Amino acid sequence: MSTFQAPKGTYDLTPPRSAKFLAVREAISAPLRDSGYGYIETPGFENVELFARGVGESTDIVTKEMYTLTTKGGDQLALRPEGTASVLRAALEANLHKAGNLPVKLWYSGSYYRYERPQAGRYRHFSQVGAEAIGTEDPALDAELIILADQAYRSLGLRQFRILLNSLGDKECRPVYREALQSFLRDLDLDEETRRRIEINPLRVLDDKRADVQKQLTDAPKLRDYLCDACKAYHEEVRALLTAAGVAFEDDEKLVRGLDYYTRTTFEFVHDGLGSQSAVGGGGRYDGLSEMIGGPELPSVGWALGVDRTVLALEAEGVELDLPATTSVYAVPLGEEARRVLFGVVTELRRAGIAADFAFGGRGLKGAMKSANRSGARYTLVAGERDLAEGVVQLKDMESGEQSAVPLAEAAAELAKRLG
């Protein structure tokens, strides 16, 4: 065992469980790739100010959870706590919005970092797949992204998740609601930190998970009662498009999520099998974020889905993924000449697109066959001096146990035929 361990609140991905994470990433990104979203990759760290402006200086993410560092040159950097601000910054820097083809549709996958209290489903290092549609205000885009996430989860076999939906209004109607909410919250029995939040971003108080706070919020003003006609119409169109697509959702008037940049549509995917950390992903519209970070007006919408949380949800439902075999053929040489010959066969199989492995290290037949079993190989190729003298190799079906001699020159073709 190593002297060192993974830092607190982080995890290592090792086989065979890592295959689930790869399968989840693939399932989430597949419908995005089929819907015009191109891949983007950004640095693992950014200027601190990008997140302070974009995510919000009053959020727990910026005030408590962000990993920051000072470079030797004196620059203030932060490990990225979320993906949207970085992706929008990169799109603006590359002038993707000036190409004349809006919206700019992007997807990404990567690791993110927050200094949180570690618990099941909440880590200091976590993995997400995200999608952003930049530069267009259209309820169909909001609906599209929700539908694509729903499609991804269902393709994995998840069924026990729910979609929560809300509208946060816009710069016209939200200030009126903000003032009404602040007046209500100031009369409640709240701690000093929450009272500070009332003055900075009172909507975040609605997201407080503490039972004693939620009890006092029963009669809080409802945002839906303050939405302007344009926001009401926009939200109803999103709801209508989801309903027409057969995607079930629940209206949740207290859903605000943890980032300051959201406007109008906001949504969350939750799974009740995960306990208190029930959110597996979410997102919404962020029409003013571009201006917040120094860009032009670019109304946008996006989401991020947690890979680790999705894996936990699959395990909670008992869903077993149909993972591709890491090894289809395992070659076992008995002797130096067989080692040279079978290594050539394995190379030929790999070039033909067949997953093949080799018994390295000169192990005996018994030990090599145990390794073949552990690898999950469908077939083994075994050859010794006598087999090579006769120009054959022994091909064994690991499921049925049947073994037959196959001409060495035809071994790769025979395996390709059997494996389809």
pLDDT band with cut points at 50, 70 and 90 for residue 201: confident
Question: So what's the pLDDT on residue 58?
Answer: 56
In a domain, 400, yes or no: yes
List pLDDT tens digits, range 159-180.
999 999 999 999 888 889 889 9
For residues 268 and 351, state if they share a domain: no
Phi and psi at 377, nearest 5°, equal -60, 140
Domain boundary among 297, 317, 337: 317
Indicate which CATH number applies to the domain containing 66: 3.30.930.10
Give how far the C-alpha of residue 368 lies from the chain's centroid of Cα atoms, to the nearest Å.
37
Co-location of 348 and 270 in the same domain: no
45 domain residue, yes or no: yes
Structural domain including 334 reads 329-419
With residues binned 3-state (H G I as helix, E B as strand, rest as coil), the percentages for the chain, rounded to 5, are 40, 20, 40
Give the confidence band of 259 by pLDDT, cuts at 50, 70, 90.
Answer: low
Does residue 108 fall inside a structural domain?
Answer: yes
Considering only CA atoms, which of 383, 329, 387, 337 is closest in space to residue 358? 329
The enclosing domain of 401 has a CATH number of 3.40.50.800
The whole-chain average pLDDT of the chain stands at 91
Residues 162 and 257 in one domain: yes
Domain-located, residue 184: no
How far the first Cα of the chain sits from its last, in Å, is: 42
pLDDT for 2: 75
Tell me 291's DSSP state.
H
78 in any annotated domain: yes
How far apart are alpha carbons 59 and 72 in whole angstroms?
Answer: 28
Residue 15 to residue 18: CA distance in whole angstroms:
5
Are 241 and 387 part of one and the same domain?
no
Handedness of CA 128, 134, 139, 141 (dihedral sign): negative
- Same domain for 169 and 282, yes or no, is yes
293 and 374 co-located in one domain:
no
- On whether both 310 and 350 belong to a single domain, the answer is no
92 and 53 housed in the same domain: yes
Number of domains in the chain: 2
Cβ-Cβ contacts under 8 Å for 351 (sequence gap 6 or more)? none
What stretches of 186-306 show up as alpha helix (H) in DSSP?
192-200, 203-206, 211-216, 229-244, 289-292
Quick one: 137 and 244 in the same domain?
yes
Please check whether residue 206 lies inside any domain of the structure.
no
- What one-letter code names the amino acid at 45? F
Helices vs strands, H then E, count in the chain = 16, 16
What pLDDT is stored for residue 400 in this prediction? 93
Please provide residue 405's backbone torsions phi and psi, each rounded to the nearest 5 degrees.
Answer: -85, 130
Which one of 270, 285, 317 terminates a domain?
A: 317
Task: Say if 203 falls within a structural domain.
Answer: no
In terms of domains, do 160 and 56 share one?
yes
266-282: burial string, b at 16+ Cβ within 10 Å, e else: bbbbbbebbeebbbbbb
Instruction: Give the end of a domain, one of 286, 317, 348.
Output: 317
- Let me know if residue 187 belongs to a domain: no
Name the strand (E) or helix (H) holding 392: strand 392-397
Residues 297 and 333 in one domain: no
Query: For the segment 367-388, what is each residue's pLDDT rounded down to a tens digit?
Result: 999 999 888 899 999 999 999 9
Q: Are residues 146 and 262 in the same domain?
A: yes
